[in-house]
Amino acid sequence: MFIHKSFISRRAVLRGVGATIALPFLDAMVPALTAQARTAANPVRRFGTVFVGLGERPSHWRPPTEGVNFEFSPILKPLEGFRDHVTVVSDLATPINGHAPTAAAWSTGVLAKSTIAEDVLLGPSIDQLVAKSIGRDTVFPSLEVCTEDVTGYLGGCDPAYACAYINTTSWANPTTPLPMEINPRTLFERLFGRAGTAAQRQAAQQLDRSILDSVRDDVRELQAGLGRRDQGRLSEYLDNVREIERRIQAVEAHNRSGEARALPDAPAGVPDSFSEHMKLLFDLQVLALQTDMTRVISFKIGRDAQNRVFPESGSNQPFHPASHHGNREDRILEFNKICKYRVSQVAYLLEKMKSTMDGDASLLDRSMVIWGSPMADPNIHNHRRCPLALFGHANGALKGGVHLKAEDGTPMANVMLAAMHKLGMDDVKTFGDSTGLFAL
């Protein structure tokens, strides 16, 4: 019997003038009569973090019941459709003091050195440790993304802490914070590339050209050699790339039209709508994971002391003032509107990952995404009983569909350490202020 099957490298790309288009996983990337587990297409785990500033009031976010049949709380209700992919861990503690160290403590498990100068000192963040383990062979070992521009915050952002601690959740090492990207256009260009000077790139964008135009002939040639299922996958993927590009172009056109903006200082590629901004950034991160350009993403949903108003939540209160509710029930419910709305944006990410196939399983099945905050009740900056959840199955390493309540005072770093072990990083023995492995 003769097996005729073309074989495409997992690292194959479509190159054109000003574009480099990575490919999603295709059947043609598995050699004939070769078990997928023994090839470069062998399912790899992906990892992500989603940081939430200002926490959630424990009694309103924590599920009222424990175990596998737990009841979703009102704030987590938007995620109920993904029950099988959700692992909630409640009552965890973090080493924070004020606003500035929160993002730093959440991702590192370390209380930042008190300084407003450049001599910052913290620890490597979980995303960067994971990137060194599973991201070394990818174009981008990790991607760091944020919804709020933090480049204007320098010096001190708290009475005793540098702005570097609040500007990012990603630390390459104890003294090196990594910048986070806010602009969907910049992230799109990083992923798919457009050659030339900044002026030439901007001119091409204003002509409403697509980066796919220069690879059209290569796409036809590739499609001709693919099976029917691969043809469908490739067409769907390229349509998705073009649709995201079109949305970015529409945002830029509107923001350059001269109409008044809600975010006048933001780049033209940043939508005024928080929901649209989140969706574009999520879509781009999913594309990067789908094409294996990266296996590690970090997403920071704003600064911890953010004063933005989220009208789409049904509340007209600025986020930070709303968090200081003074234990008044009406103000707590107002704050909860904002919290629930922001959680609902994460449901969009989970749906995208669930509907994106990576071989014979979804991207959500392949991945582990940690969502949470180092603060519990923001009214008093409490750092005990903090919210945390893990999404996905990490290739079967996480069962999901369970609420686990930790013993009071359990360091969140214990869960972070256990998460790394679930990703095969058994050589990591401690993380931040961890005291042992949490049983996930």
Residue 155 and residue 242 share a domain: no
Which of 71-75, 214-218, 266-270, 314-318 shows the lowest per-residue confidence on average (mean pLDDT)? 214-218
Residue linked to tokens 């490919």: 23
Residue 189 domain flag: no
Domain boundary among 206, 241, 268: 268
Same domain, 290 and 346: yes
Say if residue 238's pLDDT is above 70.
yes
Asked if 99 and 228 sit in the same domain, the reply is no
Q: State whether 55 and 35 are in the same domain.
A: no
Residue 188 within any structural domain of the chain: no
Residue ending a domain, among 239, 268, 297, is: 268
Report the alpha-carbon distance of residue 345 to residue 375 in Å, rounded.
20
Paired tokens of 429:
């023995």
- Decide if 294 is inside a domain: yes
The rounded distance, in Å, linking the Cα atoms of 268 and 255 is 5
- Please indicate, yes or no, whether residues 254 and 383 belong to a single structural domain of this protein: no
pLDDT for the residue numbered 219? 92
- Same domain assignment for residues 119 and 156: yes
Euclidean distance between CA atoms 72 and 64, whole angstroms:
7
DSSP strands (E only) in 137-285: 143-146, 156-158, 161-162, 171-173, 176-177
State which of 76-85, 111-120, 219-228, 382-391 shows the largest mean pLDDT. 76-85
**Cβ proximity of 102 and 387 under 8 Å:** no
pLDDT of residue 438: 98
What was the pLDDT predicted at 30?
A: 80
Q: What is the pLDDT of residues 281-334, one digit of tens each?
A: 999 999 999 999 999 999 999 877 788 999 999 999 999 999 999 999 999 999
Same-domain pairing of 285 and 404:
yes
CB 268 within 8 A of CB 256: yes
Written as six digits, the tokens of 306 are: 């953010």
| Any domain includes 114 | yes
Residue 195 pLDDT greater than 70, yes or no: no
**Hey, CA dihedral for 254, 258, 264, 269, is it positive or negative?**
positive
From 130, 211, 391, select the one nearest 286 (Cα to Cα).
Answer: 391
Q: In residues, how long is the chain?
A: 440
Handedness of CA 261, 262, 268, 269 (dihedral sign): negative
Measuring CA to CA, which residue among 267, 269, 268, 290 is closest to residue 280?
A: 269
Say whether pLDDT at 165 is over 80. Answer: yes
Q: At what angle do helices 216-224 and 228-255 cross, to 10 degrees?
A: 160
* Average pLDDT estimate for 358-383: 92
Beta bridge partners of 411: 93
Say yes or no to pLDDT of 40 above 70. Answer: no
pTM: 0.93
Residue 438 lies in a domain: no
38, 40, 45, 51: CA torsion to nearest 10: 180
Q: Is residue 103's pLDDT more than 90?
A: no
CA separation for the pair 352, 366 (Å, rounded): 13
Specify the pLDDT at position 4.
40
Asked if residue 306 and residue 158 are part of one domain, the reply reads yes
326 and 370, same domain (yes or no): yes
Instruction: Give residue-wise pLDDT tens across range 107-151.
Output: 999 999 999 888 999 999 999 999 999 998 899 999 999 998 766
Is residue 435 assigned to a domain?
Answer: no
Number of domains in the chain: 2
Q: Which residue has the higher pLDDT, 102 or 249?
A: 249
- Percentage of the chain beyond pLDDT 70 is 90
**Token representation of residue 232:** 């469908």
Give me the DSSP letters along 36-61: GGGSTTS---EEEEEEETT---HHHH
Q: How far apart are CA 371 and CA 386, in angstroms?
A: 11
Same domain, yes or no: 67 and 148? yes
Is 282 within the bounds of a domain?
Answer: yes
**Mean pLDDT over residues 433-439, rounded?**
98
Do 355 and 288 share a structural domain?
Answer: yes
Has residue 436 got a pLDDT over 60? Answer: yes
pLDDT value at position 154? Answer: 60
The yes-or-no verdict on residue 182 having pLDDT over 80 is yes
440 belongs to a structural domain? no
* Same-domain status, 339 and 264: no
For residue 314, the enclosing domain spans 47-182+270-422
In this structure, what token pair is assigned to residue 428? 């990591």
Mean pLDDT of the chain: 89
Residue in the block written with tokens 């959680």: 343
Q: How confident is the model at residue 38 (pLDDT cuts 50, 70, 90)?
A: very low
Backbone angles phi, psi at 391, to 5 degrees: -115, 145
Q: What is the DSSP letter of 263?
A: S
With a cut of 70, say whether residue 208 has pLDDT above it. Answer: no
